[in-house]
Structure 1
Amino acid sequence: MKKEPIYVAFSTQKGGAGKTTLTVLIASYLHYVKGKNVAVIDCDYPQHSIFEMRERDFKMVDEDEFYKGMAYEQVTRLEGKKFYPIVESNPQEALNDADELCEKEEYDYIFFDLPGTLNNKDLIIALANMDYIIAPISADRVVMESTLNYMISVRDNIVSTGKSNIKAMYLLWNMVDGREKSDLYEVYEGVIKELEFTTLKTFIPNSLRFRREQSESRRPLFRSTLFPVDKSLIKGSNIEELSDELLEILK
């Protein structure tokens, strides 16, 4: 019997919350480090940021001997395991594209990068077919209000119907500034608790390292569709801790 993949979406209606970066970081870490079979469906039309990132990554590998060597070493270390597929899609075709992937290969997780507006029937159908939704939040009033309203809408209009596949929804503290007062987070946590939402234990700190991609400078990589976070940068990023927590709950 063929294994059914788990559908996961880092999803929110607030732009700049970090859902695309988190999708790439977690997909790459689970695939290249944890040995899981992962795929990504990029439905964030029209920018398709993840698909475009993959194109840039491949171009850099093709043109730069340093990255070409990294790719060869990784494929050798992983005993021929391929780079995870990234499909350029849209909310209407997302589920069909996922089905086509699964006809060719078995996957543990398929990550969906979805647009945030809920006024689209196709997007609502796609969301309803997710197993898990993870919404990044930050200690900013506009971000919090927007994200919580989004979560309330998904819960009340999709989950409550009893006709969705959604097993659980989680909030994830992202871009956390260690200099901020902890009582600010306590206030927001109180609001989240009142709304009966669950926050992941792991938080992601605010750091410039999250913007590091492949470049001619050949600095250690952080955000890449072809490689996991560089070992020299992983400490303190909480990507490893978040990956472990997700492996525990995404079942």
Structure 2
Amino acid sequence: MLILIGNQKGGAGKSTLTLLLANYLAGERGRQVTVLDMDYQQSLSAKAEKAKILENDPLYEIVPADLGHFPAMQRKLGKVRNEIVLVDLPGKMDDDGLIPVFAAADMVLCPFSFDEFSVDSTLLFAMVLGKINQWAPLIFVPNRIKNTVKYETRTEIEKVLRAFGAVANGLPDRIDFQRINTFQTPIILYPVVIPLLDQLYEQYITKEDPS
């Protein structure tokens, strides 16, 4: 199963959500996970290398890759039973290399924030994705939710997004998210991340990938 994590806007929380989901799938659900780090900054690959230096056993493999590598890699991906491949996409939409990646997706997760620039970028991402892949479920994940966000604003934005896909449980704005690494999610974050991760797994991932 191939799950993309992306948004047109950089800094939307793609890499953090990728780590959270990878740690959860491998550690809590016992799934075999491979992460393709296609973000230009390749922060996940850097975290994986740091973990090796600290001699922490990895829960899964993180593979740094350019978008251009995807067609060749696709033949090898998802061949192992029970495997879930997560792709951390670059935060830009001006690369034709995204087309085969979008087309191959079984599911797409799109983290976003409740601000004008993030919402506009999220809608652009959803529209482009919809023209390339009309079958993969698109799930929007509210991220960095601040107490100052008005309920009316959030309701209106979610209403607009539901024209393109589903809106999942969100994640609050917490400094502790900076402590996530490639071998564990800090236990202090469990109360705020498990509701989202359980929802993604039980309502969407198992539905699309019953293995």
Query: Helix, strand or coil for the counterpart of 1:149?
Result: helix
Counterpart CA distance in 2 for 1:97 and 1:128 is 14
Counterpart CA distance in 1 for 2:66 and 2:21 is 21
Which residue of structure 2 lines up, in the alignment, with residue 140 of structure 1?
115
Q: Is the 8 Å Cα contact of residues 12 and 19 (structure 1) preserved in structure 2? A: yes
Which residue of structure 2 lines up, in the alignment, with residue 38 of structure 1?
33
Q: Which runs of 5+ in 2 are unaligned?
A: none
Counterpart of 2:148 in structure 1: which amino acid? R
Counterpart CA distance in 2 for 1:206 and 1:180 is 11
Counterpart of 1:226 in structure 2: which amino acid? F
Q: Is the 8 Å Cα contact of residues 111 and 142 (structure 2) preserved in structure 1? A: yes
Q: Is the 8 Å Cα contact of residues 171 and 197 (structure 1) preserved in structure 2? A: no
Which residue of structure 1 lines up, in the alignment, with residue 174 of structure 2?
207
Which residue of structure 2 lines up, in the alignment, with residue 91 of structure 1?
67
Which residue of structure 2 lines up, in the alignment, with residue 171 of structure 1?
140
CA-based RMSD: 1.9
Which residue of structure 2 lines up, in the alignment, with residue 246 of structure 1?
200
The structure-2 alpha-carbon separation of the partners of 1:86 and 1:34, relative to structure 1 and needing over 3 Å to count, comes to: same
- 4+ residue runs over 6 A deviation: none
The offset of 1:188, in angstroms, is: 1.1
In structure 2, which of residues 84, 89, 100 is the aligned counterpart of residue 125 of structure 1? 100
Which residue of structure 1 lines up, in the alignment, with residue 165 of structure 2?
198
Structure with higher Rg: it is 1
The offset of 1:99, in angstroms, is: 3.8
Query: Helix, strand or coil for the counterpart of 2:149?
Result: coil
TM-score (norm: length of structure 2): 0.88
Q: Which runs of 5+ in 1 are unaligned?
A: 1-5, 63-67, 72-81, 161-165, 213-222
The offset of 1:95, in angstroms, is: 4.4
TM-score (norm: length of structure 1): 0.75
Counterpart CA distance in 2 for 1:113 and 1:83 is 17
Q: Deviations over 1:91-145 (max 9, x none)?
A: 1113433544656x54431000111333322211111111111111111001101
Counterpart of 2:90 in structure 1: which amino acid? P
The offset of 1:206, in angstroms, is: 0.8
The structure-2 alpha-carbon separation of the partners of 1:125 and 1:240, relative to structure 1 and needing over 3 Å to count, comes to: same
